[in-house]
Amino acid sequence: MPKLKITQSEKLYAEAQQYIPGGVIGIRRPLNFVPGEYPIFFERGKGGLMWDPDGNEFIDFLCAYGPIILGHAEDELDEAVAAHMKNGFCFNLAQKWQNELAKKVCSIVPSAEQCFFVKTGSGATGAAVRLARYHTGKNKILQHGYHGWGDWCAPVHGGIPDHVYKDTISFPYNDLDALEKLIAENKDEVAAIMMTPLSHELNHDIEMPKAGYLEGVRALATKNNIVLIFDEVRTGFRVAMGGMQEKYKIKPDLTVMGKGMGNGYAIAMVVGKKELMQSMIDGKVFISSTYFPNSLEMVAALKVIEIMERENVIDAIWKKGERIMKKISAAIEETKAKAHLSGIPPMWFISFPNVEGGDSKAYRNRRVRFFTECIQRGLFLQPYHHAYIAWRHTDEQLDKAANIIKESLSIVMKELP
């Protein structure tokens, strides 16, 4: 397959590097894709498709790392936002849409007695941690998963004082004994367990909870006066409207959601027990931002939820995901490629396990080759991050993507067996 023409992307990237450190920040850097093979900029999107500045078309299976739950440029949503914009949306005081959205959210998310809205997942996880620390009078956080760029949880520690990140301790998923041991080792010091209720770590297979695992975590938290926080930034409004807690019938004390609820408009929230939320009103916990009360994103979220409920988007996404996952599994079996599919229909990941073991680079070469073949054929996936399904992915796009995956796997198998 010929290499993609990405000259416009490269030109924009060169320009960006003069003004922006690294050109693009965070995990949008070319380094996180296949450098030299992937576009570096996008220009526009519609539904399940996107176009880069060189005019290449892609089926988008990254969905902006999760927020795109409906599809790009969803007319009904954007029209509602545009109409709202005409009356202003940034005031000193709250507007009624805050109440409407809060009422709606409390009717959807099983553990939500109250909620408040922020703009990003990092803001929401930071707020939840602060509430838990204040409420329990303890400092340490046991965590599993990615929770954003806050000092307490950033995956790398440059610029963060030691004592801050040292109060955060990671625990392995699906291992109750390990969690119990950590709680015992940090007796009376753990304020919160913050975890993604399913495991979706970068460059790892997606792992679902073993039978009894989430119940066990819940029981450990209750027994030890620890606030249980579910980070459902990816799973809320995606696995189910009310997230994993709805599907698995577990009530955390606090929950953080974002991404899907806005379909790209910047909104996130903390929901949970009234008793915990109330500590915000005694003036001892400060959570505030100029933009938190902006109603534009609240109106967007209300419209996203309206569309999701009316169109039964969650069911549709599960069905679409099942359709492509079945085809990918069959393709792996048929081609005998050394690839592995994990996850659930709304979010799944194709990985290349180190079957040779040790220092062998073979699996990495297969991975690079696979994702390069995919992008050259117009399929936008990322080597280290799982894929997402959007409601506007058509059957035609799903089947085309499955064919591209099969073709790319066969090439990998033939050339890098």
Ligand X SMILES: Cc1ncc(COP(=O)(O)O)c(C=O)c1O
Considering the complex, state which of residue 231 and residue 373 has its C-beta at the smaller distance from ligand X: 231
Q: By CB under 6 A, is residue 168 in contact with ligand X? A: no
Q: How far apart are CA 146 and CA 235, in angstroms?
A: 13
* One residue of 30, 126, 148, 383 binding ligand X per CB under 6 A: 148
Q: How far apart are CA 218 and CA 216, in angstroms?
A: 5
Q: By CB under 6 A, is residue 125 in contact with ligand X? A: yes
Point out which span in 104-112, 139-147, 157-165, 336-344 binds ligand X (CB under 6 A).
139-147
Give the nearest distance from C-beta 57 to ligand X in angstroms.
26
Cα distance between the two ends of the chain: 19
* One residue of 80, 115, 227, 233 binding ligand X per CB under 6 A: 233
* One residue of 9, 122, 136, 372 binding ligand X per CB under 6 A: 122
Q: What is the DSSP letter of 26?
A: G
Taking CB under 6 A as the rule, which mask of x and - marks residues 27-56 in contact with ligand X? ------------------------------
Question: Using alpha carbons only, how large is the chain's radius of gyration in Å?
Answer: 22
Q: By CB under 6 A, is residue 121 in contact with ligand X? A: yes
Q: By CB under 6 A, is residue 384 in contact with ligand X? A: no
Could you tell me if residue 36 is left (phi over 0), alpha (psi between -120 and 50 degrees) or otherwise beta? left
Count the site residues for ligand X by CB under 6 A. Answer: 15
Sign (positive/negative) of CA torsion 408, 410, 411, 413?
Answer: positive
Point out which span in 144-152, 244-252, 319-327, 331-339 binds ligand X (CB under 6 A).
144-152
* One residue of 72, 135, 147, 385 binding ligand X per CB under 6 A: 147
For residue 184, which amino acid is it? A
Considering the complex, state which of residue 120 and residue 139 has its C-beta at the smaller distance from ligand X: 120
Question: Following DSSP, what letter does each residue of 283-345 receive, concatenated?
Answer: TSS----TTTT-SHHHHHHHHHHHHHHHTTHHHHHHHHHHHHHHHHHHHHHHHT-S-EEEEET
* One residue of 56, 98, 120, 136 binding ligand X per CB under 6 A: 120
Q: By CB under 6 A, is residue 146 in contact with ligand X? A: yes
* One residue of 56, 98, 196, 245 binding ligand X per CB under 6 A: 196
Q: Which two tokens stand for residue 382?
A: 């990322």
Q: By CB under 6 A, is residue 263 in contact with ligand X? A: no
Q: How far apart are CA 118 and CA 289, in angstroms?
A: 8
Q: By CB under 6 A, is residue 264 in contact with ligand X? A: no
Q: Are strands 227-232 and 254-257 parallel, antiparallel or unpaired?
A: parallel
Burial class of residue 417 in the structure, from the number of CB atoms within 10 Å of its CB (0-12 exposed, 13-18 middle, 19+ buried):
exposed
Q: By CB under 6 A, is residue 260 in contact with ligand X? A: no
The residue number with the shortest CB distance to ligand X is 121
Q: By CB under 6 A, is residue 89 in contact with ligand X? A: no
Q: By CB under 6 A, is residue 231 in contact with ligand X? A: yes
Q: Which positions ≥6 away from 254 have C-beta within 8 Å? A: 111, 128, 131, 132, 192, 227, 228, 229, 230, 270, 271, 272, 273, 276
Give Cα separations from 388 to 137, 263, 349, 396 (angstroms).
38, 13, 9, 16
Q: What is the DSSP letter of 280?
A: G
Give the nearest distance from C-beta 15 to ligand X in angstroms.
25
* One residue of 11, 32, 42, 65 binding ligand X per CB under 6 A: 65
Interface residues with ligand X (CB under 6 A) are 65, 120-122, 125, 145-148, 196, 231, 233-234, 258, 268
